[in-house]
Structure 1
Amino acid sequence: MSKERVIFCDFDGTITVNDNIVAIMKHFNPTGWEAIVQRIVDKTISIRQGVGEMFSLLPTSRKDEIIEYAIGNAVIRDGFKEFVDYCKEHGIKLLITSGGIDFFIYPLLKPFPIPTEHIYCNASTFEGSVIEILWPNRCDEHCATDCGMCKTSIIRSYDSERYERIIIGDSITDFEGAKLVDTIFARSHLIEMCEQLKYPYHPFDNFFDIMKQLEAEPVT
């Protein structure tokens, strides 16, 4: 019996051309954000802690300005619309699994027919004096990396005996998930990590590349 295909697709730097969190920080440039990024890269703090600390540097008085910039600056990668249609046509479950934030992810995905329950990301509140990030998709008992938005927990919820699990991503936040799946589509930093550990992967520049490869490989 063939397996059902389920795709776990990153958002920042994957669906969008650039990383939206980094773009927001560079544009508004709050004091101290670059040092936080370096601590994340050095793994002296977790992704969850780092993202939370970065957004706490931004005052909620600039809410409208921040949201407008985040949405207006983002560029959707070529072929994504066609890719969403392709998944629907072929009965492939497409899940958006992102360490990004709801206030820009939901508006940017609104033009595409993706059910809200298939979008996993971090949440936010603007009720205090600074932006607070909320974490509705924390790590399960099998993950101790304090991801914030735990992609591996979501992947594990889809039985490998029933599903052919596919990940599409570009960065460190996708790497742990890449260890669990059947097929990896990678670009940027994820390629470097796959090559270091000799994980097989398919490189991509756009979503047309991914569709072409999916067509070439029948469901297992």
Structure 2
Amino acid sequence: MSSSIPVPPAIVFSDWDGTITSLDSNDYLTDNLGFGYDKRQELNVEMIAGRLNFRDAFVDMLKSINTPFPECIEILKQNIPLDPGFKDFYSWCKSHNIPVIVVSSGMIPIIKALLVSYLGESEASQITIYANDVKYLEDGTWTIQYRHPESGFGHDKSRTIRKYTQEMEYPEGQRPKFFYCGDGVSDLSAARETDLLFAKKGKDLITYCVQEKVPFTVFEDFKEIHAYVQDVVEGKKTMEEIMEVSTGDMEKTTH
């Protein structure tokens, strides 16, 4: 990072579906246009148990959807709400030179279309997105084009975050604080890559973190994340004070 550009006090990496959005767009498409909720939940159980990887399960979900891709985007615009606290959090981050970076196992065209719908073209264009793409097939159908097809995650978020943080340049003693926000199975690879992990209440990421003894802080929406990040950036609280769950007492969050 050039010395002429101020080093951000923090960087927030965030999952997209079910985190920045209140509902998961891919789950919505699968449940309503594909093979349905029950089959999807069966795949989720297999993924959490480690018997099926996310990459292959996600392809199965998308194969069950026969709706043309442009129609899928329009349906999602009408049915996927933005997290109620995200706009204010994003505005605060912008005003404090804090990048908000989307790291998603979803597809870039869907994320961009929804961001424009939520924030407008100008604001949406300023948010960096690392995600998968869409591949159109000769028969007119579509499927996902993975960022890391060799990985069982399809998009290995840990690799993306690690590359970003390792390539950053900053003066000694001015390292930004790194946060990650997530909710589900696709966030498993990112869970250990930042200073503080926010895991959404009641979602699969917490199950994994408890199993693997990965420290995390529970959140319900971005209003809470906003308060936590602001307290750290303003020096009101330390990371340790915000960390609700340590390696030794994670089980408390599940009861």
Q: TM-score range by the shorter chain?
A: 0.7 to 0.9
Residue equivalent to 2:33: 28
Q: Secondary structure at the match of 2:113?
A: helix
Residue equivalent to 1:99: 105
Cα 1:197–1:44, aligned 2, differ >3 Å: closer, same or farther?
Answer: closer
Match of 1:20, as an amino acid? S
Name segments (4+ residues, structure 1) moved above 6 Å.
none
Residue correspondence of structure 1 range 186-201 to structure 2 within 5 A? 186-187=199-200, 188-201=203-216
Given that 2:33 and 2:66 are in contact with CA atoms closer than 8 Å, whether structure 1 keeps it comes out as: no
Given that 2:102 and 2:127 are in contact with CA atoms closer than 8 Å, whether structure 1 keeps it comes out as: no
Residue equivalent to 2:189: 176
- TM-score computed with the length of structure 2 as normaliser: 0.72
Given that 1:36 and 1:53 are in contact with CA atoms closer than 8 Å, whether structure 2 keeps it comes out as: no
Residue equivalent to 1:204: 219
Residues of 1 paired with 2:39 and 2:207: CA distance? 25
Q: Secondary structure at the match of 2:26?
A: helix
2:56 counterpart of 1:49: yes
Residues of 2 paired with 1:66 and 1:133: CA distance? 13
Cα 1:40–1:116, aligned 2, differ >3 Å: closer, same or farther?
Answer: farther
Match of 2:221, as an amino acid? N
Residue correspondence of structure 1 range 130-141 to structure 2 within 5 A? 130-135=141-146, 137-138=147-148
Structure 2 residue runs without a partner (length 5+) = 1-6, 239-255
- CA deviation map 1:84-106 (0-9, x unaligned): 11111111121101111233211
Percent identical among aligned pairs is: 26
Residues of 2 paired with 1:172 and 1:30: CA distance? 19
Match of 1:133, as an amino acid? I
Task: Return the offset for 1:181.
Answer: 1.2
Residue equivalent to 2:132: 122
Report which structure shows greater RCO (CA 8 Å, sep ≥6).
1
- CA deviation map 1:95-140 (0-9, x unaligned): 10111123321111114324467111111133433322112x317x
Residues of 2 paired with 1:36 and 1:190: CA distance? 15
Cα 1:66–1:59, aligned 2, differ >3 Å: closer, same or farther?
Answer: same
Match of 1:216, as an amino acid? D
Aligned match of 1:8 in 7, 13, 27? Answer: 13
Residues of 2 paired with 1:56 and 1:105: CA distance? 19
Structure 1 residue runs without a partner (length 5+) = none
Aligned match of 1:87 in 90, 93, 98? Answer: 93
Given that 2:23 and 2:81 are in contact with CA atoms closer than 8 Å, whether structure 1 keeps it comes out as: yes
Given that 1:155 and 1:177 are in contact with CA atoms closer than 8 Å, whether structure 2 keeps it comes out as: yes
Task: Return the offset for 1:148.
Answer: 1.1
Aligned-pair Cα RMSD in Å: 2.8
What is the total number of aligned residue pairs between the two structures? Answer: 213
Residue correspondence of structure 1 range 59-74 to structure 2 within 5 A? 59=66, 62-74=68-80
Given that 1:63 and 1:126 are in contact with CA atoms closer than 8 Å, whether structure 2 keeps it comes out as: no
- Please say which of residues 176-185 and 64-73 is displaced more in the overlay: 64-73
Cα 1:88–1:41, aligned 2, differ >3 Å: closer, same or farther?
Answer: same
Q: Secondary structure at the match of 2:50?
A: coil
Q: Secondary structure at the match of 2:77?
A: helix
Larger radius of gyration: 2
Cα 1:175–1:127, aligned 2, differ >3 Å: closer, same or farther?
Answer: closer
